[in-house]
Amino acid sequence: MALPPDTIRIRSRLSDNDISIVRNDSNSATISVDTTKSAYKFGPNASTIGKQVASANTGVVVMVLLSIWLVRGVSRFVNLKDRFPGWNRFYFRFWMLGAVYYLALLGFRVMRPEADDFYVLLVLLATAAVLLKVRDYRPARTLLLGFLPLTVFAIIEMFMFVFLPNTVRFYKDGFQSAEGFSWLWLFVFIFIARSHKKQAEKERLEREAAALEKQRIEAQNAALEQMVAERTASLTRQTEELRETLEELRITQAQLIQSEKMASLGELTAGIAHEIQNPLNFVTNFADVSTELLHELEEEQQRPTRDLGLETELLTDLRQNLTKITHHGQRAASIVRGMLEHSRASSGERAPTNLNQLADEYLRLAYHGLRAKNKSFNATLTTFFDPDLKSVDVVPQDLGRVLLNLFTNAFYAVQKRKELGEPGYTPTVEVSTLHRASGAVEIRVRDNGTGIPAAVRQKIFQPFFTTKPAGEGTGLGLSLSYDIITKGHNGTLSLQTEEGQGTEFIIELPG
């Protein structure tokens, strides 16, 4: 129900000044319409009095309208809607109280000049209560402080009007200046509160910006931490993979070493069989012969004329045979033992070892092993064993492997040279031991084979290096031998070689 703007004239009781307020507001318009209607309700008889009452209470209407404006301003200033919605609802409808109050004034035909002041006081108290409620908000406190003199003044004024109306008239000027001061105070504080609010707003924005920044940094940190965690996880995974690979390599290495051992053992199987067969044949033969000798001896003893010379000879032979049986039995046992030791994982324990015997044993094994594979192969074996050689503390199965390897290589080299068809060539493999004056022990394995070319010489101790065709050598033999002699026995493994003439490997062990 829109109405044209109307002008309301209010006379202030204290200042006697006219204040003109122009409002174009639907609410106020409604009220004024209502007021008018209410005024007319009193009928023709009361119309003159009703008009007087309405006119006397116009100030109340104005105050109600002003209070609406004030309530809106204060509510918006302290943002009451968001802070205390319930309070805001009540505070916003304060004009309703004003409307009821006005109707009551009309109804009871009250014409008191302080009626509007009473309503103003209520509004001020309500505003003070609201500001007290939101006192945590600094501009609200400032505003409260601003309203304080006006409110106190309104209370005192009301008190005076009610109880000491004459005094009011008497101190009219004092009241007037106090009111002026209160208003001035209020305006100043509104100004200060506004600046406080701006500052608070600025601070709030800064806080929000800081919070936003903090949030951004936190998000960034979280992202970074996640990246770090991912990277760590991937590194851990890689480390784990590498560790597993290393473990696999270690196992493979151990398996390779074992298979290298078993391969060299396999090469020797035939040689070993031959080497065991021979002593066993002797054992059975000498046992058989001994039985025959015993028969002969018994027959001899049965004769009337005993040939004591013959009997002595038979007994001597018997004793000799038993010695030979023992000897050949031990020979077979030693070969079996050697084979077992060779195939077993090295215990790594050193034991006093007769190197002459060890070298001889493995020379024969290597030779017969090769013979078993290649029947046309033949070589002259020469041994120069130093009779003064004492037992040396070595790991027998490890040193045996080294010797076996060197012998196998030597036989391979002479075989290769023989295949060249040189006239008058006699393949020869020689092993010699020497007890040096310094106490060191030397074992030399020499062949008159093909020799080692200079280019190959640098690589022969490297793992997996082999000149043999695929499948014939693992390339681990010399590499392992080198480790056994240098790391295992603190010795040295060196070589002298001349291409086309032969090679000599020299093992030196500290005494």
Answer positive or negative: Cα dihedral of 425, 426, 431, 435: negative
In this complex, which beta carbon is closest to other proteins, that of residue 36 or of residue 426? 426
Find the shortest distance in angstroms from Cβ 503 to other proteins.
19
Q: Within 42-171, where are the H helices?
A: 43-56, 58-78, 80-83, 85-92, 94-107, 115-133, 138-163, 165-170
When the beta carbons of 361 and 508 are compared against other proteins, the nearer one is: 361
- Smallest separation, CB 420 to other proteins (Å): 18
Q: Which is nearer to other proteins, 142 or 290 (CB)?
A: 290
Q: Which is nearer to other proteins, 161 or 282 (CB)?
A: 282
Which residues, 6 or more positions from 507, have their beta carbon under 8 angstroms from its beta carbon? Answer: 402, 406, 442, 443, 444, 445, 485, 491, 492, 493
380: amino acid identity, one letter: T
Of the candidates 371, 359, 339, the one whose C-alpha atom is nearest the C-alpha of residue 446 is 359
Residue with smaller CB distance to other proteins, 331 or 444: 331
The helix (H) or strand (E) run that includes residue 431 is strand 428-435
Per the DSSP assignment, residues forming a β-bridge with 495 are 505
Instruction: State the nearest-atom distance from the C-beta of 380 to other proteins, in Å.
Output: 4
Angle 308-343/172-302 helices, nearest 10 degrees? 160
Nearer to other proteins, 321 or 408 (CB): 321
Please say which residue, 375 or 487, places its beta carbon nearer to other proteins: 375
Q: How far apart are CA 399 and CA 212, in angstroms?
A: 77
Nearer to other proteins, 383 or 490 (CB): 383
Residues that bind other proteins in the complex, under the rule CB under 8 A? 274, 277-278, 280-282, 284-286, 288-289, 292-293, 296, 317, 320-321, 324, 328, 367-368, 371-372, 375, 378-381, 426
Task: State in angstroms the smallest separation of the CB of 399 from other proteins.
Answer: 23
Q: Shortest CA distance to 432 belongs to which of 417, 416, 447, 411? A: 447
Which residue do the tokens 């908000």 mark? 137
Nearest approach in angstroms of CB 311 to other proteins is 13
CB distance 105 to 60 below 8 Å: yes
Task: Find residue 21's DSSP bridge partners.
Answer: 8
Bridge partners (DSSP) of residue 353 are: 392
Do 116 and 62 form a contact (C-beta atoms < 8 A)?
yes
Closest distance of CB 429 from other proteins, Å:
9
Closer of 37 and 375 to other proteins (Cβ): 375
Q: Are 55 and 36 in contact (CB under 8 A)?
A: no
How many CA atoms lie within 13 Å of 235's alpha carbon, on the beta-carbon side?
A: 6
Kindly state the smallest distance separating residue 286's Cβ from other proteins, in Å.
Answer: 7
Cα 422 from Cα 511, distance rounded (Å) = 41
* Distance, CA of 460 to CA of 478 (rounded, Å): 7
Question: In the complex, what is the shortest distance from the CB of residue 447 to other proteins, in angstroms, rounded to a whole number?
Answer: 14
Shortest reach from residue 363's CB to other proteins, in Å? 10
Closer of 23 and 328 to other proteins (Cβ): 328
| Min CB(267)–other proteins separation in Å | 16
Residue 422's alpha-carbon distances to 56, 96, 377, 417, 497, in angstroms, are 152, 135, 15, 8, 19
The candidate with the shortest Cα–Cα distance to 484, out of 381, 361, 380, 401, is 401
Nearer to other proteins, 254 or 294 (CB): 294
Q: How far is the CB of 251 from other proteins (least distance, A)?
A: 39
